[in-house]
Amino acid sequence: MLNPKLIRMNPELVEEALKKRNMGTELLEEFLAVDRQWRDLDTIIAAKKFERKQFSPKGKPSEEQLLILKKLSDEIKEEEDLVKVLEQKVESIALLFPNIPDNSVPVGTDAASNVVIKQWGEIREFDFQPSPHDELGQKLGILDFERGIKLAQSRFTVYLGDGAKLERALINFMLDTHTARSYKEVLPPFLVNSSSMQGTGQLPKFADDLFRCKDDDLWLIPTAEVPVTNLHRDEIIPEESLPLYYAAYTPCFRREAGSYGRDTKGIIRQHQFNKVELVKFVLPENSSDEHEKLTSDAALILELLGLPYRVISLCTGDLGFSSAKTYDLEVWFPSQNIYKEISSCSNFLDFQARRALIRYRSNKTEKAELLHTLNGSGLAVGRTFAAILENYQQKDGTVIIPEVLRPYMGGKKLLGNI
C-alpha cells in the first residue's frame, strides 16, 4: 500500500500517478476528506482533554463542576469512538490505491503503448502450416480437454502419459535451474488466509478473480507470490540476511474474471495451472538491479529451452495494481504468428512490505525499515508446455523434446508414436 502520509502530504504526486494509470481522482478525494475529518476530530479531542484538565478543581468539585466534567468526558468518549472508525476507514481506503509507477515506466493507456526492449532467438520457418498446441496435444493423446470439463468445468485440462511427464519435467527443470542460481526452494500451502491475500495486494480489490473456501477464511492461491511473500509477514529481517531469493512450484487458481473470450482454446488461460515463481526480498537501494537480474533469471529458462521470446516494459496503463515497474516475457507461438506472455517480473518497491509489515533491521540506524519485494514467473509451466509443442512440432505430427528436458523424460527425444 502507499504510505498514507505520502497521500496526505503530497496529493499532487498521487493524483499524477493515478492519471498515468488512467484512473480518476475520486479515491484520492475520498481519502483526503475522511483523513481531514479524522485529524480535525483528533484535534478537537485534544483540546477538550486540555480543557478538562484545566477545569478540574483542586479540591472537592461542586455538583455543577461534576456535571460539566461528566459532559466533557462523555463527549470525548463518543468522539474517540468515532475517531477509531474514521482511522479504520482511512486505512481501508489507502489499501485501494495502486502503486506509483516508476519514472522509467512508459506512459500509455493500454498494451499498445508497451515497449519492446529485447528480442531473443530465431523464429523458425516452417515448410508446413504449424498446428496450434491444443490440436497437437489432442492428436498426441497427451491433453484431454473434454474430460477436464467432465471432471470440473471449462478451462480445466487433464494431462495424460507423456503430457503429464513433460509437465512434471518442466517443473523439475525450472526448479533445478533456479536453485542452482542461489534461489531457495519452498513448497508453501496452496491455501492462504485473508491477511496473506491482503499483504500482497490481491485483497480487497481482486476478490472476484479468486476462488474462496466458503466455510473458512481460506483462499486458493492465484500464484506462489502470495504465500512466499507472506513467509516474512510481520517480521524484521537482519540486514546481513538480505537479499533472500526463493523459488516455489505451486498450482495456481484463478477465476479469470473479465477474460471471457480470450484464449479459451487450449491451456493458455486456465482456471488451474502450474507455475514456478521467483520471489526476492532486497534492500531498497538494490531493488532496481535485482529486478533486472530477476528478469534475466526467468528468461534463462526460455533460452535453455531454445524458445524465441521478447521482453516488454509495461506502460502505466497496463501495469499491475501492486507493481511500480514490470517486464513481461513473451514467447513465440507460430500457429498464431504472435508472442504471448509467459512471465511477468515486477518490482513492488515497499508497496507489499508496507501492507504485510515486512522490514529489515538497518545496520546503520539500527531501526526497522521497510524492505523491497520483487517477484516473477520462472515460468508459467502450462504456457511453456504449449510453446514447446508449437515450436518443436514436426511435419509428421511428432514433437521434438528440447535437449535439456530429455534427462527428465527418461532420455526420450520425441512426443508421439512415430
| Marked catalytic residue, from 135, 256, 341, 369 | 341
For 218-229, what is the mean pLDDT? 98
- Do 245 and 323 belong together in one domain? yes
Task: Determine the pLDDT at residue 54.
Answer: 81
For 277-289, what is the mean pLDDT? 98
Respond yes or no: is residue 344 known to be catalytic: yes
Task: Determine the pLDDT at residue 401.
Answer: 98
Measured distance between the N- and C-terminal CA atoms of the chain, rounded to whole angstroms: 55
Residue 338 lies in a domain: yes
- Do 160 and 252 belong together in one domain? yes
Mean predicted lDDT score pLDDT of the chain: 95
- Do 36 and 185 belong together in one domain? no
Over 70: is that where the pLDDT of 257 sits? Answer: no
Task: Determine the pLDDT at residue 265.
Answer: 86
- Do 196 and 157 belong together in one domain? yes
Task: Determine the pLDDT at residue 258.
Answer: 60
Over 90: is that where the pLDDT of 53 sits? Answer: no
Residue 310 lies in a domain: yes
Q: Which residues, 6+ apart, have CB-to-CB distance to 4 below 8 Å? A: 31, 35, 90, 91, 94
Phi, psi of 142 (to 5 degrees): -110, -10
| Distances, alpha carbon 94 to alpha carbons 62, 87, 143, 204, 300, in Å | 47, 11, 45, 11, 37
| Marked catalytic residue, from 254, 354, 355, 359 | 254
- Do 59 and 161 belong together in one domain? no
Respond yes or no: is residue 254 known to be catalytic: yes
For 65-79, what is the mean pLDDT? 90
Residue 249 lies in a domain: yes
Q: Count of residues for the chain?
A: 418
Q: Which residue in 249, 224, 253, 243 sits closest to 294, CA to CA?
A: 243
Task: Determine the pLDDT at residue 63.
Answer: 83
d(Cα 408, Cα 133) in Å, to the nearest integer?
Answer: 21
- Do 209 and 301 belong together in one domain? yes
Number of domains making up the chain: 2
By the 10 Å C-beta count (0-12 exposed, 13-18 middle, 19+ buried), 194 is classed as middle
Give the residue from 64, 94, 124 where a domain finishes. 94
Over 70: is that where the pLDDT of 273 sits? Answer: yes
Q: What is the CATH number of the domain that holds 76?
A: 1.10.287.40
C-beta contacts of 83-86 below 8 A and 24+ residues apart: 83/38, 83/41, 83/42, 83/45, 86/34, 86/37, 86/38, 86/41
Respond yes or no: is residue 21 known to be catalytic: no
Q: What is the CATH number of the domain that holds 380?
A: 3.30.930.10
Residue 16 lies in a domain: yes
Residue 368 lies in a domain: yes
Q: Which residue in 29, 61, 301, 52 sits closest to 172, CA to CA?
A: 301
Task: Determine the pLDDT at residue 262.
Answer: 64
- Do 214 and 73 belong together in one domain? no
| Marked catalytic residue, from 322, 344, 346, 377 | 344
Residue 102 lies in a domain: no
d(Cα 322, Cα 101) in Å, to the nearest integer?
Answer: 9
Task: Determine the pLDDT at residue 418.
Answer: 53
Helices within 118-204 (DSSP H only): 133-140, 145-151, 162-179, 194-200
102-140 residues labelled b (16+ CB within 10 A) or e (exposed)? beebbebeeeeebeeeeeebeeeeeeeebbbbbbbbeeb
- Do 80 and 124 belong together in one domain? no
- Do 213 and 324 belong together in one domain? yes
pLDDT tens digit sequence for 158-212: 999 999 999 999 999 999 999 999 999 999 999 999 999 999 999 999 999 999 9
pLDDT tens digit sequence for 377-392: 999 999 999 999 999 9
pLDDT tier at 13, thresholds 50, 70, 90: very high
Respond yes or no: is residue 287 known to be catalytic: no
Among 64-73, 96-105, 183-192, 309-318, the least confident range: 64-73
The cell numbers describing 218, all together, are: 481460506
By percentage, how much of the chain surpasses pLDDT 70? Answer: 98
Respond yes or no: is residue 341 known to be catalytic: yes
- Do 122 and 194 belong together in one domain? yes
Give the residue from 65, 94, 123 where a domain finishes. 94
- Do 89 and 129 belong together in one domain? no
For 103-112, what is the mean pLDDT? 97
Residue 373 lies in a domain: yes
For 386-404, what is the mean pLDDT? 97
221-246 residues labelled b (16+ CB within 10 A) or e (exposed)? bbbbbbbbbbbbbeeebeeeeebbbb
For 42-66, what is the mean pLDDT? 84
| Marked catalytic residue, from 155, 287, 383, 390 | 383
Over 90: is that where the pLDDT of 256 sits? Answer: no
Residue 255 lies in a domain: yes
Q: Domain range holding 210?
A: 111-415
- Do 306 and 225 belong together in one domain? yes
Among 45-54, 251-260, 404-413, the least confident range: 251-260
